[in-house]
Structure 1
Amino acid sequence: MSHQLRGASADALAVLTDKLGQVVGSGADASRVADDLFGVSDVLRREPALRRVATDVSVTPEGKAELVRGIFGSQLDAASLDLVTDAVGRRWAATRDLGDALEHLGVVAVVRSAEGAGQADALEDQLFAFERLVSGTPELRDALSDPARSVEDKRGLVRGLLDGKATPATIRLAEQSLAGTHRTVAVALEEYQKVAAAHRDRLVAEVRVARELPEAETQRLAGVLARQYGRPVHLNIVVDPDVIGGIRVEIGDDVIDGTVVSRLDDARRRLAG
């Protein structure tokens, strides 16, 4: 989400997230719902007048629902339309929050589609890998942020990079990262990783090592961290030559640094003191 929802908006999103779970659990196509929610979110951002009416507390929920059905009714799946009409009937702390919440729900719907296909772990791994690629490749970063290039052109570039190498859910979120609702594509991808982890009730750890970790060591580290934090932990492994042995783990604001460099720095500080 491009900013943190608070107050009434956070309450509305929580209720709508539960409803999305019920809708998908009842058999709605999660991928179709995601596309619909992304589409409505995009329209709301482009049409300030519609956004104002849709969040205006002086307009009745019934009136707003009728407006939404008139504009989107023929284009949306029935389950998606039900979610959107419910959303406009709720209170929002700021007009932009409605569009942000619908995008967030769309991301959750994509994650649920990945879960249904048994590809949720792959989605998290691939989002991280693509975010690293974008962040570490100036030419690609510039191409994806170039205002002179159309969004469709940028989507074509993303599909060219990911087709055959990533799951449909990953490609869908990589395309959504181009919508311009976040400061950069990399920030959008980071946000989507957080949404996926939160939906699956997991923490995300970035693990920096000097060499690839064997699978057994990776599983052991995940187990140790899960016991320490009381929740499953998804590991994003980064091979970083600057680590020089050992391991560095970041989980949220926590940093566990067991690298050789860190130990040398500690020794220097003790000697200097």
Structure 2
Amino acid sequence: MSAAAEARLSELDRAMDAQSASPELAADLFAVADLLTENPPLRNAMADTTVPDDLRQAFADGLLANKLGAGATAVVSAAAGLRWSSPSGLVVAIDRQGVRALLEHARAAGTLDTVEDELFRFTRTVAGDNALRQAVDDRVVPAAARQQLVTDLLQGKADPDTVQLARRAVATATVSFESTAEDYLTLAAAIRQRAVAVVTVARPLEGDQKERLQAAIERQLGRQVNLQVVVEPSVIGGARVQVGDEVIEGTVAGRLAAAEKQLTQ
């Protein structure tokens, strides 16, 4: 991402952070993102960089007057006043703020750890079940039906913010539900200025093993991490740690593969 794009996102983050985060704010922002997605002329008009910034903001304010809460109107107005590289970039940015509104709401409620863990576990469940993954990602099936499937699986078993995040990931996934949900988890970590560390082990960690492993990873990386543990029986001893594109291979299988590669070079 370019420095200019990061600056735009940061400015919009500040506009959203000035509001009171709530599920209602998120729902309003998602509704605007959906409206713009379904209406290309409207999307193009709100992102038209040949029009002065203040006029685009006035256009957004007039369009949304008395239709959204004050918080959502302020965020969308701020988004319209920024110069995005494409109209779709505007939509993605507004949708991102809806996700952040849910995550900030969870943080304020003291449930962000729970929401992150639940979303991660559900994502792993979907990824590990071929039939469920196909059902969730099948674009032939209306998004509303796929969202209802997610609701049926999570309702009453997960935090309401987790349910809404999973439903949104189903509706907006461009690559896969798994990829979109992982983006949400990265946003959650960023809110607390942490990185996401996915640790793959052969069997569940016991006692304080998770805390000790997290401390060791943080010492090695020099920053705090959100630790997500994946149990994979095919792993032979040790642990594989992935933080973004960085992989720390500590499994027996990984060491054997590295040794074999050296022998064949």
- Equivalent residues in 2 for 1:35-46, closer than 5 Å: 35-46=27-38
Shift of 1:254: 2.1
1:31 aligned onto 2:23: yes
Write the distance in 2 (CA, Å) between the matches of 1:237 and 1:65. Answer: 44
**Equivalence for 1:15:** 11
**Equivalence for 1:206:** 198
Write the distance in 2 (CA, Å) between the matches of 1:208 and 1:271. Answer: 26
Write the distance in 1 (CA, Å) between the matches of 2:125 and 2:110. Answer: 24
Shift of 1:182: 2.2
The percentage of aligned residue pairs carrying the same residue is: 37
Aligned residues: 265
TM-aligned CA distance change 1:91 to 1:218, over 3 Å = same
Bigger Cα displacement from structure 2, 37-46 vs 253-262:
253-262
Helix, strand or coil for the counterpart of 2:71? helix
Write the distance in 1 (CA, Å) between the matches of 2:4 and 2:259. Answer: 51
Bigger Cα displacement from structure 2, 259-268 vs 183-192:
259-268
Helix, strand or coil for the counterpart of 2:139? coil
Q: 1:150 aligns with which of 142, 150, 161?
A: 142
**RMSD of the TM alignment (CA)?**
2.0
Shift of 1:199: 1.6
CA contact under 8 A between 2:21 and 2:102: conserved in structure 1? no
Shift of 1:14: 0.9
1:65 aligned onto 2:61: no
**Equivalence for 1:49:** 41
TM-aligned CA distance change 1:151 to 1:272, over 3 Å = closer
Helix, strand or coil for the counterpart of 1:241? coil
Bigger Cα displacement from structure 2, 77-86 vs 8-17:
8-17
Q: Give the partner amino acid of 2:30.
A: F
CA contact under 8 A between 1:201 and 1:231: conserved in structure 2? no
Shift of 1:272: 7.0
1:173 aligned onto 2:165: yes
Helix, strand or coil for the counterpart of 2:57? helix
Q: 2:189 aligns with which of 197, 201, 204?
A: 197
**Equivalence for 2:128:** 136
Shift of 1:7: 5.2
Shift of 1:145: 2.5
**Equivalence for 1:160:** 152
**Equivalence for 1:106:** 98
TM-aligned CA distance change 1:272 to 1:57, over 3 Å = closer
1:89 aligned onto 2:100: no
Bigger Cα displacement from structure 2, 183-192 vs 140-149:
140-149
Shift of 1:119: 1.0
TM-aligned CA distance change 1:161 to 1:19, over 3 Å = same
In structure 1, runs of 5+ residues without a counterpart are none
CA contact under 8 A between 1:244 and 1:261: conserved in structure 2? yes
**Equivalence for 2:217:** 225
Helix, strand or coil for the counterpart of 1:256? strand
CA offset digits 1:35-73 (Å, max 9, x no partner):
111111111111110111101123233432332233322
Which structure has the higher relative contact order (CA within 8 Å, separation 6+)? 1
Q: Give the partner amino acid of 2:15.
A: K
CA contact under 8 A between 1:9 and 1:97: conserved in structure 2? no
CA contact under 8 A between 2:236 and 2:252: conserved in structure 1? yes
Write the distance in 1 (CA, Å) between the matches of 2:243 and 2:102. Answer: 24
TM-aligned CA distance change 1:258 to 1:46, over 3 Å = same
CA contact under 8 A between 1:9 and 1:91: conserved in structure 2? no
CA offset digits 1:135-171 (Å, max 9, x no partner):
1212112222233422222121111100122111111
CA contact under 8 A between 1:110 and 1:173: conserved in structure 2? yes
Helix, strand or coil for the counterpart of 2:208? helix
Write the distance in 2 (CA, Å) between the matches of 1:48 and 1:265. Answer: 50
TM-aligned CA distance change 1:267 to 1:83, over 3 Å = closer
Q: Give the partner amino acid of 1:205.
A: A
Write the distance in 2 (CA, Å) between the matches of 1:215 and 1:115. Answer: 26
TM-aligned CA distance change 1:242 to 1:50, over 3 Å = same
